[in-house]
Structure 1
Amino acid sequence: MTTRTPWATDSGRPAATPARSARPWTGPWYAGLGMALVGSQVAVSGLLADAPLFAVQALRYTLAAATLVLVLRLTRQTVPRPRGREWAWLVGVALSGLVLFNVGVVRGVAHAEPAVIGVAVAAVPILLALLGPLLGGTRPAPLVVVAAVVVTLGAALVTGGGRTDAAGLGYALLTLLCEAGFTLLAVPVLRRLGPHGVSLHAVWIAAAALWVLSLTTEGPGAVLTLRPEHLPAVAHLALGVTVVAFLLWYTAVGRIGPGRAGLFTGVVPVASAVGGVLLGGPVPGPVVWAGVAVVVLGVVLGMRTRSGPDALATTNLGQPAPPRTGIQLPGG
């Protein structure tokens, strides 16, 4: 006897999920909170500097995938089975935003100061403001593009400049493209799969790829070298920075569109700077605070636009979807 999981109802169709909230402030709030959690990764990652990179990330995404499955079971939500080209988009999200992004950051800081990588990532709002609407079949909203430039300038002030070489610039470009890919490659599948579906499939695909990388480059025993003090940091990366932040982010993208949601990536360096102070680091100088003010100005400017020209065609995201085949797991 098999037991159906939250992925399918007895009729073979996914169960209806609650209707999307009509409160307009939830999209910006989710985007800002999600990116603030991502910004906390900087401080936490410092505790993992001597840990094997791929083993840590593989363990992180494995724990995140298991947590998402548990959440789906407990809340009786459904995740449709990806089909056809959707697998390619999901693999793109996983390999770009979750695997190659981490490789680019770690390898990049060996050739460039961390600020250089940070400035590259700070340019993500511009890419999302330009390319996000195009993926939805609409034109970029001029005010959102202007706001994205303002946010990027502010984030660059917060992050600062730095020295680099040619390889460092290449890794900086890689991190920029991968960070943008994390959002843009999810756009074609977000409406049908929803935030839970995109998050779950992306993290288990990334976990599988990272386990392969860890086994082949770090050895089978790499994960066993983790010390007890590493585990809380891994748990925070898995639960806070991955599960919660991913769900908040993809929900926000579905509600306000990738262009306007992208403005909130400027929150990442701000949250990193504030988090450093809370953890006992030095208080940033006037240039950093000026950058924070510019980021806030850019976000406020961009959010003054209406969702029409920028939003994804996801106005019924979270509404009951058309019939489709649900995923069924053995056991129960």
Structure 2
Amino acid sequence: MKSQAVVGMALCAAAQLMLGASMATTRLLLDYPVFSGQAIRYAIAAVLFLAVICVSGTLGGNGRRTSTPNASLSRAEWAWLAGLSATGLAGYNACLVLALGHADAAVVSTIVGAVPLLVAILVPAIRRKAPSVRLLAAAGIVVAGSTLVHGTGQASALGLIASVGALLGDVAFALIAARLLPRIGPVRLSAYSCVLAVPMLATAALVAGEPASWRLPSLTEWLVLAYLGVALTGVGFWCWFRGIQLATVERGSLTVGLVPLAAVITMTVQDHAAPPVAQMGGIGVVIVGLIVGMSAPLADSLQAHPSRRAFKDTSKAWESDAAGITWPILPAAKPLPSSLAGQARHPRAAADDGVPSADAAAAPVR
């Protein structure tokens, strides 16, 4: 694997390790309304990202500062962004909360843990290519290891449906991000998705009847929400988006298997209790899967790497995204008048990861 892909895998791994380690922290939010807390968490992250954009200037798709305004997006691109926030953030968490109310956390985590396998199948299918045998095998190994870590449990039909919904939301989060990264880069993608997620989660809070129990967070809850907004969402989202931009979404998704590893280690330290042998064995299997995935030749997973080129030909207008998928190029947005260009650079700011029971803390809430 080339050094650029190694760096990308490391960034994706860092994001997933932070997510897993945060699960012990989220137990401190069990008494706070779930969707309200998530809205606060994403609002904090949105402010952070928008501040970074204001300080550093316009960031292009390669993550570097550019002298040309690149903030004017087409309607289609805004639709993709809204879809990412609706499915990968608000929808994912709504399905997860519903699933945890009708299924054991082990079942939910096992189903959602199938993200690497589904991505390994879908990306080549969208590309109209045969899947990489090695990446497919690696994804299967990672999913098997995650299942060993989570264990088994019971679930109702509604719990299974909601779990699959969370799985699809997580996959959409990765694939849509790969679609947008070459155009707007990891910082702006993180900022816009967080901004759009806030009103969606606020609406979910209203539908769930949370206003009746709404209150200001306690000092401890504020500290946890700030940590989740700054570290998990702020740093974690950038690491994840930049990682799949460098390593491709297929390889990056393999690191989802590290979430239970970090969760088990963190909770072991916090609870002063050794994990079961089966969990340790599952962690070992996940690591084997990651090694297999990292050893896959670069040509197995993409046709044209976005950090090297976004190509066009004269007969068909196509571009390559961070998944190695080729899509029709979206029409360019019209340049803004000079009086509005400055505002376009700094768009307006629009998970708590609280869960309904102590067992549910084992489930990955983004």
TM-score (norm 1): 0.85
Aligned residue for 2:35?
54
Residue 129 of structure 1: how far off its partner (Å):
1.1
Residue 281 of structure 1: how far off its partner (Å):
4.6
Distance 1:175 1:265, change over 3 A: same
Distance (Å, rounded) in 1 between the aligned partners of 2:277 and 2:202? 43
Distance (Å, rounded) in 1 between the aligned partners of 2:126 and 2:81? 16
For structure 2, the 5+ residue unaligned runs are 60-69, 311-331, 336-340, 349-366
Aligned residue for 1:35?
16
Distance (Å, rounded) in 2 between the aligned partners of 1:180 and 1:300? 22
Secondary structure of the residue that 1:185 maps to in structure 2?
helix
Distance 1:200 1:139, change over 3 A: farther
Asked if the contact 2:258–2:286 (Cα under 8 Å) also holds between the matched residues in 1, the reply is yes
Aligned residue for 1:306?
297
Aligned AA (1:53): V
Distance (Å, rounded) in 2 between the aligned partners of 1:245 and 1:138? 31
Distance 1:175 1:255, change over 3 A: same
Aligned AA (2:32): A
Asked if the contact 1:131–1:184 (Cα under 8 Å) also holds between the matched residues in 2, the reply is no
Q: Please, which of 152, 155, 165 is the counterpart of residue 143 of structure 2?
A: 152
Aligned residue for 2:65?
none
Distance 1:168 1:256, change over 3 A: same
Aligned AA (1:105): L
Aligned residue for 2:288?
297
Aligned residue for 2:191?
200
Residue 328 of structure 1: how far off its partner (Å):
3.7
Distance 1:175 1:281, change over 3 A: farther
Distance 1:281 1:172, change over 3 A: farther
Distance 1:211 1:187, change over 3 A: same
Secondary structure of the residue that 2:39 maps to in structure 1?
helix
Residue 308 of structure 1: how far off its partner (Å):
2.4
Secondary structure of the residue that 2:292 maps to in structure 1?
helix
Matches within 5 A, 1:246-261: 246-261=237-252
Matches within 5 A, 1:1-332: 23-78=4-59, 80-135=71-126, 138-215=129-206, 217-218=208-209, 224-311=215-302, 313-316=305-308, 325=335, 327-329=344-346
Deviation per CA, 1:212-263, whole angstroms, max 9, x where unpaired?
Answer: 3334544657653322221111112111221111111111111111111111
Asked if the contact 2:254–2:293 (Cα under 8 Å) also holds between the matched residues in 1, the reply is yes
Asked if the contact 1:194–1:317 (Cα under 8 Å) also holds between the matched residues in 2, the reply is no
Aligned AA (1:280): D
Distance (Å, rounded) in 1 between the aligned partners of 2:78 and 2:123? 20
Distance (Å, rounded) in 1 between the aligned partners of 2:96 and 2:207? 20
Residue 24 of structure 1: how far off its partner (Å):
4.2
Aligned AA (1:302): G
Asked if the contact 1:120–1:176 (Cα under 8 Å) also holds between the matched residues in 2, the reply is yes
Distance 1:219 1:127, change over 3 A: closer
Distance (Å, rounded) in 2 between the aligned partners of 1:301 and 1:205? 37
Asked if the contact 2:50–2:346 (Cα under 8 Å) also holds between the matched residues in 1, the reply is no
Asked if the contact 1:34–1:246 (Cα under 8 Å) also holds between the matched residues in 2, the reply is yes
Distance (Å, rounded) in 1 between the aligned partners of 2:150 and 2:226? 26
TM-score (norm 2): 0.78
Distance (Å, rounded) in 2 between the aligned partners of 1:137 and 1:274? 40
Aligned residue for 1:6?
none
Asked if the contact 2:99–2:158 (Cα under 8 Å) also holds between the matched residues in 1, the reply is yes
